[in-house]
Structure 1
């Protein structure tokens, strides 16, 4: 599979995703996707992936994919950096229970890609 870009509120690539894994700009696994749930590297539920947006626990958008629809107004996309080599995939953690889903907002989160996935 190919790493796909994740954009921030400024339109810059802030990370990557592929299948069930979320990556840093450097190609290290920093989180997981499980159904529509987003989990930290340690298995804590931190939000949702829906309609191409990564939503935080308050219903605000942290980042978005090229397939995103709806949500907050998006800037133009910056140039795509070279895709990094992927680091080894760590063992999957036990996943925590999911938090209650808030209503989805059209606002940007105050979190960035790396703080979202901690």
Structure 2
């Protein structure tokens, strides 16, 4: 989840080449459907899509049980805290795109802990 966080900050810092306006509403894809309707994707929607893909892999990583999983949980906690602090403090992060990315980081954090606790309960053998 750190990748969407970094990409978002690059865009709001102006390193991605946007000048003025809302960079998240810039259209990056437009497809005419068979029905005649036009489906378009904005930059913000693409970043949310990337966040969902990264969250999927993060949840897959949380299913393994090893010593590295503790470090993964710790890093997920730091990423969520960074999202939360930036959302509350930085005016450029007060957008729906950033909020949804922050919620994905929270779901990743909770899912990681839940999966680990559930799998740890199955590893315990008595007798």
**TM-score normalised to structure 1 length:** 0.22
Greater percentage in strand: 1
Please tell me whether Structure 1 or Structure 2 has the larger radius of gyration of its CA atoms. 2
**TM-score normalised to structure 2 length:** 0.21
Greater percentage in helix: 2
